[in-house]
Chains A and B, each alone.
Chain A
Amino acid sequence: MKPPPFSYHRPATVTEAVTMLDELGPDAKILAGGQSLVPMLNMRLATPAHLIDINRLDELAYVRVEPEGVRVGALARHADVEHDAAAGRAIPLLAEALRSVAHPTIRNRGTTVGSIVHADPSGEMTAVLCLLDGEVTLVSRRGERTVPAQDFFVAPLTSAAEADELATSALFRRPTGAATGTAWMEVARRHGDYALCGVGAVVTLNEAGALTTVRTAYISMGPIPQTLDLTLEAIGSNGDWRAVGEAAAAQLEPEEDIHATARYRRQLAVVLTARACRLAAERAERARRAAPSHPTGGAGRTGSGVEGER
């Protein structure tokens, strides 16, 4: 459990970092929080020739509320995002989902963007990014580009980022609509473990309280995070969230592993979809009632996710 030799590089600026990435080639790996990479190094599952440590890139250590949503810099730790009050007000789902990411000590060190780039289909924030129509900003010597979440996750542990690209930030979009509620639910074997199934839900109501969108996203239910639009099913089911869950599960193809059968995972998808959608709908309804007048700016109201209904 000791890594093979590698060269260690510590750039001071993003420009320097992407120059190094370009010059060192595909044998270089970015080290941010190291919560996945370092164990992989120690088990010799990853053997990069170069590590580029971006922990000195203070310019990337931010959590910023922008008009569109919350932008998270590549050096923001999970805990920074989880405890950022403005981000919490803008998108309560962020903190709610982050509380399921491992344990506090890991969240103190691990970065949100790092876990997204790691593209583990069990990583909560991959699904949250998809659910919130987020995007990832990639910088290389060639320039900067933005990849939408739906295109970012390619395969397990594989993202759309090229070898010479540094992910500098991720944008989580604030859900729009008259009144929105969100929820995150998962079942894990132990507190903080990778979920056997995790579900995020966004439910939007119009001013009359009718459903306008129901969307869900899943972790541990496929090779990449899975996103479903369940609006039609939800409207059709007339408040029967269990039926919505059944409809969702029918569209998922989870695999068996040593902790759960595929059938059990599908059962969890049914149950957790129903529970998460029900809770998100209740929160949306609460948000709608709390703001009877028309909201301005089109940003809508987002139901708080801090009731602690887990």
Chain B
Amino acid sequence: MTTRMIGEPIPRREDPRLVTGQGRYLDDLGAGALQVAFVRSPHAHARIVDIDVTDALDVDGLVAIYTYEDLAAADEAGSSHLSEPLPLLIPHPDLTHPRTAYPLARDEVNHVGEPVVMVVATDRYVAEDVCDRIRVNYEVLPAVVGLDAAIEATHLVHPDIPGNIGAHMVQERGDARAAIAAAPHRLELDLEIERSASMPMEGRGVYARWDADDRTLRVYTSTQAATSVRAAIAAKLAVPIDRVEVIAPDVGGGFGVKVVHPWPEEVLIPWAAMRLGREVKWTEDRREHFISSAHERGQKQKVRVGFDDDGRLLGMEFQVWHDHGAYTPYGLIVPIITTTQVLGPYKPGAYRGEFWSLYTNTVIVTPYRGAGRPQGCFAMERTMDAIADYLGLDRTVVRERNFIQPEEMPYDHGLVFQDGRGLVYDSGNYPALLDKLKALVGWDSFAEYAEQARAEGRRVGIGLACYVEGTGVGPYEGAHVRVETTGEVVVATGLTTQGQGHQTMLAQIVADELGVPVERVTVTTGDTRRFKYAVGTFASRTAVMSGNAAALAARKVRAKALRIASEALEVDPSDLEIVDGVVRVRGVPSSPGAKTEIPLSTVAVLSNPLRYAFDAEAARATQFAVGGSSEEPPVAEDDEPGLEAVDYYSPPRSTFAAGMHAAIVETDPETAEIKVLRYCVVHDCGNLINPRIVEGQIHGGVAQGVGGALYERMVYDSAGQLLNASFMDFLMPYASEVPTVETDHLQTPSPLNPLGVKGAGEAGVIPAAAVFASAISDAEGFAITRMPISPSELFELRERFAAGEIPPLRSRSGHISGEGRFVRAKEDSR
């Protein structure tokens, strides 16, 4: 009997290759290619007066220098569209003032790092030498940096966009303001989250080959959306899409930044390759990645809530000021997610979500793992803690009282989610998740521990946060499954992989559906030569989308295999099963060669009637070897050759995973250093395909969450210079900073898809800022309202707290002293 593969924590099949240096990343390709470097804007906001390349022309090894004028000339001479702004990928009616960049700056630069001149040379060293000698004369304009400056709008990023407002959007269910006004208790919170970034180990990179004889363009790019890059290149360069191949080789992490496309470089490098008739490559360096790719997270928020004596929400108003940087290629996805996913596992009563998406003279803001959810989770969970403190209730009690109950599923929030579909939770069991979390972290016994720690002069605190994550957004993904005549199974899906273990996970699904050993299944992702229809890898969607598509395609292949085998074995298909790659009659002991079984490899041979033989297997399918009726066509009218199938999965809407995290921290009373003593995760992503991979996703997410909460920030000065654009000063956590993650799972299958799965890719990162804010607040005795937080900032907050500038919390772990804590004040806290 074949072991069932779905649910098995088998090791990732890609790891031996990747961890022994056998990966093939973008920069490993194209060793002989010409290389590109860019002159990028040193100013956050400036007009380009003049570009002088005279000094650069005599550098040995220089091949070409291109500016916007060259793009315009090329468009005029041919049918390319490079002098137009890059596409607005996700338009939205409320994005009233969209703006996207030109591939090379036209008259104006709007952030430090915007590409102005492209240099092609024999190698990157020479290309950078050339860049150093190109003089760009700028007229510097006032820079808008930070949300305060954007809101104030004394200066404008784009002179024709009033108030720096790209979009203003409101979603409302019920009359939230009236509900809050009528509520017995009200609270108002002002919150802030700073910028961070995806920061994959491998930056972006593009390598293009133009075959002038074949008139085909092959582009390798480190992307999360190969098929869409292909379409974009075809459109921008006016090459028939049929002549464009795009391949994502091994990609060293994406985390969102590589789903943006086409990046300027993704159209410029192929354009240069075609123009020069040479292979051309560009590999982003780390400084470029900091100032020329994308950031996320930066928001200011205001929460107003009304609630009853038990802490139940009656109304909630959530206002967000979202910093989207200089341009809006990715539309409003991030703030839409923040203002919908803020609701988490709770029933908010009446709800009004409102955001302003604002321009600043900084790097663009596009989704980074979590994609607006960490900010929403932070707002809601800070609010839950505030309500608990206000009422003197345990923080878990307030959450429990506001949970959507399992029997209320599916639960319709009456709002529109990021996919344009309803915000309808398909399934989930939030009370059970909280019970598991409380047990895992020892919530109920913590007060005792805290009291004991305090007696020893130590400060400890516990915090928790809950989230719901819409995963597996549409519109669709597809998969192709084929059984080769060797019995090997090849699978292709169009979306890309960046190290998540997709090849293992998809192989497990197909192995189970087909009844073959998982070792016999090989999966290809992100290669448009193999699969042309796809959307991309983002929004925790691969297991849901490509996983189900692969299952459906494999089921078709299985049905065909059983049909062919039933003819060969003269048995009804329903009496057949496939075990270990052999189709056999159910209940009959295996005996090779008997007329009761037939290997899938043979079925594959029989599925493809042949005229010519080139090996023994093929010989079995040639005309004189195959018997049967001479009246029927070898391939039946409704059939096609080959043991293969394509199928697609398109969900009605997203499926909603959930999880809850808790952390115990210790803060040094003197140095304000923050130590994570424990970090616990309970997680529900429906049925688990590979628990080991899910755990890995959670661990990686938590690591990024720890980074976002305690270490990382983008430090811009008022002129728009990014002061910490290197790994020396942008502090990603090392292994030494990431806590051991303790996990537990709940499996509430999704009713929306055949496998009953939900996405797991982003979950780990979502609640971290909220969890640490909760735990540090508990340790310190005052509310943390701004993340990330550093020891220096905690020290400064302590000073302000000691000076009476920050109000104390009313209840803390280890300080609960009974009824006196149970305050039922009617007035607002501020």
Contact = CB atoms under 8 A, between A and B. Distances in A.
Do A and B form a real pair? yes
Interface of A: 1-5, 43-44, 187, 189-194, 196, 258-261, 263-264, 267-268, 271-272
A259 B715 CA distance: 10
Contacts of B711: 189-190
A193 to B, nearest CB: 7
B734 A192 contact: yes
A264 B796 contact: yes
B736 A191 contact: yes
Contact of B734 (A4, A191, A196): A191
A1 B286 contact: yes
Contacts of A194: 728
Contact of A4 (B124, B132, B791): B132
Contacts of A193: 731
A260 B287 CA distance: 23
A271 B671 contact: yes
A145 B124 CA distance: 43
A196 B792 contact: yes
Chain A interface SS verdict (over half): loop
A34 to B, nearest CB: 15
Given A190-B711, A192-B734, A260 B128 contact: no
Contact of A259 (B736, B792, B796): B792
Nearest to A256: B792
Nearest to A193: B731
A261 B125 contact: no
Given A43-B287, A258-B723, A264 B791 contact: yes
B42 to A, nearest CB: 13
Contacts of B729: 258-259
Contacts of A3: 125
Question: Which are the 10 A-B pairs with shortest beta-carbon distances?
Answer: A191-B736, A1-B285, A260-B792, A264-B792, A271-B670, A2-B125, A258-B715, A264-B795, A2-B128, A2-B124
A189 B790 contact: yes
Contact of B736 (A190, A263, A264, A272): A190
B577 interface: no
Nearest to A3: B125
What interface size band does chain B fall in? 20 to 34
Contacts of B285: 1
Interface in B277-301: 285-287
A263 B287 contact: no
Given A187-B791, A264-B795, 8 more contacts: A1-B286, A187-B673, A190-B731, A191-B736, A192-B736, A259-B729, A259-B731, A260-B792
Interface in B707-746: 711, 715, 723-724, 726, 728-729, 731, 733-734, 736-737
Contacts of A5: 125, 129
A267 B792 CA distance: 10
A187 to B, nearest CB: 5
Interface string B632-668: 0000000000000000000000000000000000000
Given A1-B286, A2-B124, A190-B736, A267 B731 contact: no
A44 B287 CA distance: 12
A191 B737 contact: yes
A1 B796 contact: no
25 contacts: A1-B285, A2-B125, A5-B125, A5-B129, A44-B128, A187-B671, A189-B790, A190-B731, A190-B737, A192-B734, A194-B728, A196-B791, A196-B792, A259-B790, A260-B791, A261-B792, A261-B795, A264-B791, A264-B796, A267-B670, A267-B671, A267-B672, A267-B795, A271-B670, A272-B671
Interface string B110-143: 0000000000000011001100100000000000
A1 B287 contact: yes
Contacts of B791: 187, 189, 196, 260, 264
Contacts of A187: 671, 673, 791
A43 B286 CA distance: 10
A187 B672 CA distance: 10
Contacts of A258: 715, 723-724, 729
A44 B132 contact: yes
A43 B724 CA distance: 14
A268 B132 contact: no
A5 B733 CA distance: 34
B686 to A, nearest CB: 36
Contacts of B286: 1
A50 B295 CA distance: 38
Contacts of A192: 734, 736
A196 B723 CA distance: 17
Nearest to A1: B285
A140 B709 CA distance: 51
A67 B87 CA distance: 73
A12 to B, nearest CB: 28
B733 A190 contact: yes
Contacts of B734: 190-192
